[in-house]
Each structure stands twice: as C-alpha cells, then as structure tokens.
Structure 1
Amino acid sequence: MQTEPARQPARAALAAFVGTTIEWYDFYIYATASALIFAKLFFPTGESFYGTLASFGTFAVGFLARPLGGIVFGHLGDRIGRKKALVATLSIMGVGTVGIGFLPTWASAGALAPTLLVLLRVAQGIAIGGEWGGAVLMAGEHAPRERRTFLASFAQLGSPAGLILALLAFRLVAHLDKGALFDWGWRLPFLASAVLLVVGLLIRSGVGESPEFDALKAQRRTAALPIVEVVRDAWRTVLLCLGANVIGVAGAWFVNTFMLNYTTQTLGLDRGLILDCLFVVAFVQLGTQLVSGWVAQRVGASRFLAVAAALAILSPYPMFVLVSTGRPVAIVVGIAIAVMCMSSSYAVMAGFMTDVFPVRVRYSAISLSYQCCAALAGGLTPLVGAVLAHAFPGQWWPLAGFYSVLAAISLGCLTALRVRRPVGETAAVAFADARAGDLS
C-alpha cells in the first residue's frame, strides 16, 4: 500500500466543508423562501395560515425524500466508492436548485407551478440525502485516528456556512421593493447556485478516494447489498443513532426555519430584523461547531454529546423569553443560547457515528440513521411548530416544551449507545494496525 499524501486529510476535510456548504446553501434558500415567499407565489389561499402550512409541506417533502437518497447513494458509496457518489449528489442538487429559480408561479401556470416545485424539491432531498454520509466519510476516513472526530466535524460546518450564504443572499434581495422581490428578486439566490456548483466540483476533483474504502475494495470485502446487512445486523444501533441525531437535526430547523416564521407572523417583527439576527447567530453556530469538534476529540465524543443534549433540554426557555422582547440584542442572545447547545451536538455526531459502524456498510448505515431522522424530525418540526403556534396563540411554552422533548430523545438514545459495543471503532483500529504494518 502506498503512503497517502500528507495533505489529503486536510484537503478531504476542506472538500467536505465546501461541498456541504453548497448543498446546505441550496437547502437553506429553499427553507427561507418557504417561510417568507412561497406561500404567496405558489399556494395563494384566503388564509395565510393554510398557505404557510402548504409551503412548509413542500419543505417537508424534501426531507421525506432524503432517506431514499441515503439508501441509493449509500449503496453506491459502499459498492463503488465515496467520491463518485458525492460528485453525483452535488450535480443533482445544483440542477434542482437552479431549476427552482426558473419556475413559473401559480399566477402564470396554476397548479403546474407547485407540482414542479415539489418535484424539484424531491430532487434536492435525494441529493442532500446522499451527500451527507459521503462528505462525513471522506473527511473522517482520510483523517488520522487521533483527529477523526475533529476533521469529520468539518462536513458539519457546511450547515452554518450554507446558512450564512443563504441568509446573505436573501438579505440582499430583501432590499428590493415588495413587487420586485416577489416578481423576480426571489429567483436570484437559486440561480446563483450554478456558480457554486462549478466551484464545488472543481474542489472535489482534487481529493482521492477514502483510504479505508480502497483497502476494503482491494481485499474484495465490499458488501453486495450493504443496506440489507445494516437492516439485518444493526437495526437497533441505527434506531439509536436516529434518535441521537434528533436535537441536532430538528433543532436546526426549529431555530432557522420555524422561528423565522414565528417571529414575523406571530410576533409581528420585521422580516429584515430577523434575517439580520439569524445571520449573526449563524456565525455563532459556525464557531461553536469548530470548537466542539476540537473539544470532543479530547474529552470523548459520547461524553461531550450527552452534556450537549442535556443543556439543549433547558435552552428553549431563555430563548423564547428573550426573543419575545423584540429587541435585536436579546433576540440574538436568546437564539444563540439554543443554537450553541444544538450545534455542539450536531458537530460531533458525524465523527461519533463513523466509529459506530464497520467500513463495509458505513455509508449506508450512517445515511439511513441520519436521513430517516431528518425526514421525521427535521421535515416535520416546522409543521408541528406552526400547528402549536396556531393552537396556542400568544403562548410560547408549548413550543419550548416541544423543543425540550426533542433534546430529551437525543439524550436517552445517546445514553443507550454509550453502553453498546462500538463495532466501527474496532474495525477502524484494525484497519489502522494493518495499514501501519504495510507501511513499516
């Protein structure tokens, strides 16, 4: 076995970061548009609440498609390689997002408009469903054992970075008058994805295949049907990983999508003000995730995740108290409290799950766990939030209680995972030992 170039771990982590940033930018601009724009353009109804539900419904459709993407590209990634799967997912996401930018609206195409919107949203869901697992593994499997948790977290940095780009894009077009914004301005963030797609493909072309997968393929030990092996042999672990991901996944969409709608529709706050506040908080999330990966590498991922989930249970109460004041600084501080707890968990789960499953089925296993969590907890969270806000007008405690339940689910599953044998860790150590013997 030839020595892997020393620069490959850093390059793989950078490529994972850039690729997931582009994917999440595409996903977040849809989320932002679903909260602010799409209800009026694609689902015009007499009652704004029902238009919002329909808009969030298409948002949820993308999440429901993510497990399919995870299964399809997980199979390809475990059979033919992580890198090839990632090139395909990035291309599908770019085409789907740019396509949304060219869509007609209800006013010009009637029911055809939301139908096409849903189809392209499904394409987005399939792409991000396949992207996440591959990006995590390219970063984690290239990394030295002592840096795996930290470097794998770079794939997770794409979420806040993509959010920053998405909020910046919509903040720029928000300066347009309302007529221009709803006529053509909303399309610009979607069309800009074409440029990002080219950049992402160029960066990914410079990263080699995962060394752990290459070693497995050379030994002819790849799984014929990886998803079957996962469901047959590791379904309990998959379910626990699904639950452990809940607060990191659902919490992000609660804060960044539902809160955008809640603050503008329920509290009557200015749209531009909330976008500015979320923009500042996104930088807090980016810094928190970077530090979290570094700290968890030193204190232990499972211990770190348990503490983060416990703090997340408490975090929504100060968030709602501060946000309800309507003051910009209080809004930023309140949302930042919840985001720091939620994003700490989100950052470290990537490396944690990489160590739970063996190499031969790892892409399929972590994708199934994470994407099923995204479909259930992520896609439905804004809908549940909207229903609770409508059922309890002027009261935030049901929303805070809902958020606490999400965090408690993660804490319970993490506790159960800590007592299970880390199958993947044993496999990873064995691979490292074999590799060391080849190089000595």
Structure 2
Amino acid sequence: MSTPQPSTATHQPVRAATAAFIGTAVEFYDYYTYATAAALVLGEVFFPSSNHFLSTMASFATFFVGFIARPLSGAVFGHLGDRIGRKKMLLVTMFLMGIATTGIGLLPGYATIGIWAPILLVLLRVLQGIAVGGEWGGAVLMASEHAPKAKRVFFASFPQMGSPVGLILSLLSFRLVSSLDHESFITWGWRLPFLASFVLLLVGVAIRMGVKESPEFERMKKNNEVLKNPVGEVLRTAWRPIVLAAMATTIGSAGFFFTNTFMISYVTTYLGMSKALILDCLFVVTILQLLSQPVSALLAQRYGDTRFLTWAAFISMLTPYPMFLLVSTQNPVAMVAGITLAVVTLSAVYAVIAGFMTPAFPTRVRYSGISIAYQVCTMIAGGTTPLIGTMLAERYKGEWLPLALFFTVLSAISLIGIIGLGRYRDGKQPEESAALATN
C-alpha cells in the first residue's frame, strides 16, 4: 500500500524542476518577444519619428517601464508566496503575462488610435513587468525546495534554463516574420509572435497545475511558522544579503539585455547589418547558451558555487573586447564566436546565481528576499542597459570601446556582490548549525 509514496517522492523534484523550466520558458518568451520587438519595430509603430534614434530610445523607454514594476511586484508576490504558497503565485503570474502579451499583439498602432497607442502599450508593458516580477522567485523556489539538499544548485538552475529557451522561441518567431516585406512586417507580421503567447499560456498553466506545493513551505505552514509580514521582516533583518544578491546577479541579468536586445539595435543601426543576420547569429548563440548552462550548474555543484561564480564573473569582465572585435568583422561565424564567448560566460553566472542566493535567506522570508533582490537588480541594471548602450553608441559613433567598458563594469559589480554574499553565507552557516543543535 505504501509503494507509490517513494515513487511520488522520487519523481516530484524532477516534475517540479521541469514545470519551473517550462513555465519560465513561456514567461520569458513573452518578455523577450517584447524586447526583440522593441529593438526592431515598436518605435516605428507606436513612436513614429523622422529621427530613428528618438524612436528607438522611446521604444527602449517602454521596455524599461516594465522593469519599474518588477521590484514592487517581487515584493507583493514574495509576500503572498511566503504567506499562502509558491504554487498559487506562479499560476497567477503566468496568467497575467499571457494576457498582457496577447493584448500587445492586438493593440492598434499610433497611425490608428494616436496617443492612446503608446499609452496602452505602456500599461500592458507594466502588466508584463508585474507578472515576471513575481515569476522568477517562485519558480526558483519550487525547483530548489523540492530538490535533495545536495543537488539544489543544479535543480535551481532549471528555471534559469527557461530564459534561453524563451529567447530561442522568440528569435525563431521573429526570424519567420522578419522574412516578410517591410510593409507587411510593420502592418501585421510583428504581431504574430505576441499572439502565439496565448497558446503557450495554456500549455504552461496545464503543466504547473500538476505540481505539488513546495515541501518546505508545507512544513513551515504545519509548524505555524508563516509570518504575517514577511516583506517587512526580510527588509528589517536581511537587507545586507538583499543588496549583495542584487549586485551578484547584475551581469546575469543586464548582460542578456546587452547581447540580445541592445546588440540587435546596435548592429542594424550603426553597423548596417540586416535584421535576419543578427537574429540568425543570436539564435545559434542562444542554443550554445542553453547547452552550457546545465554544465555550469554541475561544475558549480562539484567545485563550489562561490568559487565557480567568482571565476565566471572575473572572466566575464574580459569578454566584451574580443566580442566587439569579432562582431565588427560582420562575418557570421566570427560574430557567433564573439557573442558566444560573452554569453556563455555571463550565463554561467545566471545559471548558478539562483541556487547561490537562495540559502542566504530563511525559508519564512525566502520568496520575498530573493524576489526583491533579483527584481531591484533587473530594474536598475537590466532595464537601463539598452538605453545606456544606445546613448553610448550614439555619442561615440564608430567606437565600441565605451560599450565594452560598460559591459566590464556590469561584470565587476557582480564579482563584488558574489564575493560579499559568499562571505555572508559562510558566516551564517555556523549560526544556523548552532541553532539547529539547540532546538
């Protein structure tokens, strides 16, 4: 009679990690679809201007608007996730993202409804930000809290792999519609990737419905350890790991928007390359990124996550220089090699950072802590990166060194945060062991 129980216990961690991976892939498909469209088409449709630079900046500004909502959303969903459960929040965030992305695909442009077009676009973009703001922390916790303790770094990397898969799907969809003539692409072609989100929404919700609640949350609930105000508690008692975790994840967040969003605009506007060429290059790069991330997680699990992340962030400081040299050749093979060098290195940070930061927070405030840290970072660093990159490219036309230095600074911030958070965790572990022994 008890035979099914071990089987269920054995398969639930894999099922939870798989659901976190697929659900996050759907959410990031939606998010990257907007990012790609912002680089390619939204400026022309919603912010028409004779000055291409101003249209692009306006488009990237709406991209940034979505990031403004993310820290508040992370706090709200973190609070609810620490009080009523991780699973419920993930279903809500997925539904919100699907509705927002589908709505953008149906939204008339400036030529049809005038100023209401950009206003409604901004509102839907804010809704996207709210959804993804609550998504990341819950997905990471569902994967890691179901996992065996010795394998949490690896299992926590599954939601991170959803990011490149979402990007691959987004790039594929835009690669298909970008083959249309310009008028068709501007009129209706760009909308198709957004409308496809509704189908992915149904798939993601169905998969997540089949996963049980986090066992650590259930244990906390059973022991009456659920806090009334987890956000207030984490801000009061754990502000230091929040700051350090936000710094640590900088290149893992901002770096992708540098290589996968800003780079599209940079090479098409300032180097005169075709949309199809850069999308094809990024497609190959993202496949290599996807293959590299589980390897990074396994290496970190074997040799220590702090040591691995320290080296990854340091190497990432060096990679933008060969990347820009190779991109400047405009040779597809060289471009893929250069961008891959930067992306694989920064994605090594991204793959491991979730499992690295999670143990720094107690279970009762963990959803709130990691969500606030990650979303504050994405707002400050991720959302502004395409804007800063575009301003540097415009200011220093024909020069890539300022852009490379910007990338190096982002990596250096991560390196400082990783070292600091690693030391903080090492200092907390003896205290936790002593507390467990006392209890």
Range into which the TM-score falls when normalised by the shorter chain: over 0.9
| Structure-2 residue corresponding to 1:195 | 199
- For residues 292 and 424 of structure 1, do their structure 2 counterparts lie closer, same or farther at Cα, with a shift above 3 Å needed? farther
- 1:289 maps onto 2:293 in alignment: yes
Instruction: Verify the 8 A CA contact 2:100 2:127 in the aligned structure 1.
Output: yes
Instruction: Verify the 8 A CA contact 1:356 1:425 in the aligned structure 2.
Output: no
| Structure-2 residue corresponding to 1:23 | 27
Deviates more, 1:272-281 or 1:286-295: 286-295
**Runs of 4+ residues over 3 Å off in structure 1:** 1-4, 421-433
Aligned counterpart for 1:117 among listed residues 110, 117, 121 = 121
- 1:6 maps onto 2:5 in alignment: no
- 1:38 maps onto 2:38 in alignment: no
The Cα of 1:163 is off from its aligned counterpart by 0.3
Instruction: Verify the 8 A CA contact 1:20 1:131 in the aligned structure 2.
Output: yes
Instruction: Verify the 8 A CA contact 1:41 1:106 in the aligned structure 2.
Output: yes
Instruction: Verify the 8 A CA contact 1:356 1:422 in the aligned structure 2.
Output: no
Q: How does 1:316-327 map to 2 (within 5 A)?
A: 316-327=320-331
Q: In structure 2, what residue type is equivalent to 1:82?
A: R
Q: How does 1:2-401 map to 2 (within 5 A)?
A: 5-401=9-405
Q: In structure 2, what residue type is equivalent to 1:136?
A: V
Q: In structure 2, what residue type is equivalent to 1:253?
A: F
Q: 1:74-102 deviations in whole A, cap 9, x for unaligned?
A: 01100000000000000000000000010
Q: 1:170-225 deviations in whole A, cap 9, x for unaligned?
A: 00111111111111111100000000000001100110000001000000101111
Query: Number of matched residues?
Result: 434
Q: In structure 1, what residue type is equivalent to 2:284?
A: V
Q: 1:50-75 deviations in whole A, cap 9, x for unaligned?
A: 00000000000111111121011101
Q: Distance in 2 between matches of 1:44 and 1:350?
A: 40
Q: Distance in 2 between matches of 1:429 and 1:256?
A: 43
The Cα of 1:418 is off from its aligned counterpart by 2.0
Root-mean-square deviation over aligned CA pairs: 1.9
Q: In structure 2, what residue type is equivalent to 1:300?
A: G
Q: Distance in 2 between matches of 1:425 and 1:321?
A: 44
Q: Distance in 1 between matches of 2:94 and 2:228?
A: 25
Instruction: Verify the 8 A CA contact 2:82 2:364 in the aligned structure 1.
Output: yes
Q: In structure 2, what residue type is equivalent to 1:72?
A: V
Instruction: Verify the 8 A CA contact 1:21 1:162 in the aligned structure 2.
Output: yes
The Cα of 1:3 is off from its aligned counterpart by 9.2
Deviates more, 1:411-420 or 1:147-156: 411-420
Q: In structure 2, what residue type is equivalent to 1:168?
A: L
Instruction: Verify the 8 A CA contact 2:143 2:158 in the aligned structure 1.
Output: yes
Instruction: Verify the 8 A CA contact 1:358 1:423 in the aligned structure 2.
Output: no
Q: Distance in 2 between matches of 1:170 and 1:431?
A: 53
- For residues 427 and 378 of structure 1, do their structure 2 counterparts lie closer, same or farther at Cα, with a shift above 3 Å needed? farther
Q: Distance in 2 between matches of 1:288 and 1:241?
A: 23
TM-score by length of 1: 0.96
Query: Structure 2, unaligned stretches of length 5 or more?
Result: none
Q: Distance in 1 between matches of 2:23 and 2:340?
A: 25
Q: Distance in 2 between matches of 1:389 and 1:173?
A: 27
Q: In structure 2, what residue type is equivalent to 1:14?
A: T
SS of 1:355's equivalent? helix
Q: In structure 2, what residue type is equivalent to 1:380?
A: T
Q: In structure 2, what residue type is equivalent to 1:154?
A: F
Query: Structure 1, unaligned stretches of length 5 or more?
Result: 434-440
SS of 1:88's equivalent? helix
- For residues 424 and 46 of structure 1, do their structure 2 counterparts lie closer, same or farther at Cα, with a shift above 3 Å needed? farther
- For residues 352 and 326 of structure 1, do their structure 2 counterparts lie closer, same or farther at Cα, with a shift above 3 Å needed? same
Instruction: Verify the 8 A CA contact 1:355 1:428 in the aligned structure 2.
Output: no
Instruction: Verify the 8 A CA contact 1:64 1:125 in the aligned structure 2.
Output: yes
Q: Distance in 2 between matches of 1:427 and 1:290?
A: 31
Deviates more, 1:126-135 or 1:230-239: 230-239
